[in-house]
């Protein structure tokens, strides 16, 4: 199969993604995209160092919040099912 | 009194941003911002259709998601025409993740279009883009 054919084939058949806890990790690339675009629209001037710093800061703060929320929900589910 | 905004210029900037993500910023001379937004939105949409296949763009079965996906670019309508026949069915987790990625990239582009029109309203167009 040619390279072009292989590329087109990749976009015409879905990937295999099992319904597992690991599938939630697909949120991470999406978070990066949201944070990058948000910061690209908010910063008055785009300087590489400042942009990377701001992006990393926002990404980490969202990630920490998600992990904390997951922990709290997990504890609640554990207590309910005890 | 500040000069009235050039409506044609604002419209052009907004449409450019819709047709090609980030292109509106080029009109304002914001090259770095344009490149970052183009790469990020295109990549996010690309990941979405890679995971779920082009079948996630479904104008009949997923109308509301399709409206969000159309915000990426009018070119999404071409994918919609191809998938309308029902030859690219996709279900389950790949469909969910693919739709989430493609709709969110569309919403991000909408945010950029609104932002670039706002920025264009505050600024004078660069000399090369006067009408």
pLDDT of residue B71: 95
Please, are residues B37 and B28 in contact by the beta-carbon 8 Å criterion? no
Q: How far apart are CA B47 and CA B104, in angstroms?
A: 12
More confident residue, A54 or B55: A54
- Weakest mean pLDDT among A12-16, B1-5, B52-56: B1-5
pTM: 0.88
Give residue-wise pLDDT tens across range B56-99: 888 888 889 999 999 999 999 998 888 887 777 777 888 889 99
- The reply to whether residue B93 touches residue A33, judged by beta carbons under 8 angstroms, is no
Gyration radius from chain A CA atoms:
19
Q: Do B97 and A11 touch (CB under 8 A)?
A: no
* Percent share of chain A, pLDDT over 70: 99
Indicate yes or no: CB of A46 within 8 angstroms of CB of B36: yes
Please give the ipTM for the structure prediction.
Answer: 0.86
Work out the average pLDDT over B109-122.
94
Instruction: Please tell me the predicted confidence (pLDDT) of residue B85.
Output: 75
Cα angle A24, B101, B119; round to 5: 125
- CB atoms inside a 10 Å sphere around CB B41: 27
CB distance A17–B105 less than 8 Å?
A: no
User: Average model confidence (pLDDT) for chain A?
Assistant: 90
Measured between alpha carbons, how far is A63 from B20 in angstroms, rounded to an integer?
Answer: 30
Q: Show me where the domains of chain B are located.
A: 7-123
d(CA B3, CA A47) in angstroms, rounded, equals 31
C-alpha–C-alpha distance, residues A81 and A68, integer Å: 20
Q: Among all residues of chain A, which has the CA nearest to that of B56?
A: A14
Chain B residues inside the 8 Å CB shell of A23? 93, 97
């Amino acid at each position: 199969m040619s390279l072009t054919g292989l590329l087109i084939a990749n976009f015409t058949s879905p990937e295999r993604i099992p319904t597992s806890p690991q599938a939630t990790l697909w949120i991470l690339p999406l978070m990066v995209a949201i944070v990058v675009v948000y910061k690209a629209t908010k910063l008055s001037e785009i300087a590489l160092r400042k942009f990377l710093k701001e992006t990393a800061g926002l990404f980490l703060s969202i990630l920490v919040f998600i992990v904390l929320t997951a922990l709290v929900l997990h504890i609640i589910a554990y207590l309910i099912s005890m | 009194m500040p000069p009235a905004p050039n409506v044609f210029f604002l419209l052009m900037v907004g449409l450019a941003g819709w047709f090609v993500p980030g292109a509106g910023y080029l009109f304002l001379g914001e090259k770095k911002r344009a490149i970052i937004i183009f790469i990020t939105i295109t990549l996010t949409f690309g990941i979405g259709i890679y995971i779920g296949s082009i079948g996630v763009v479904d104008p009949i079965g997923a109308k509301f998601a399709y409206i969000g996906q159309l915000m990426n670019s009018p070119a999404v309508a071409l994918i919609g025409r191809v998938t309308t026949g029902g030859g690219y069915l996709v279900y389950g987790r790949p469909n969910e993740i693919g739709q989430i990625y493609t709709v969110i990239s569309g919403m991000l582009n909408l945010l950029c279009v609104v932002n670039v029109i706002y920025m264009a309203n505050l600024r004078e167009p660069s000399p090369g883009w006067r009408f």
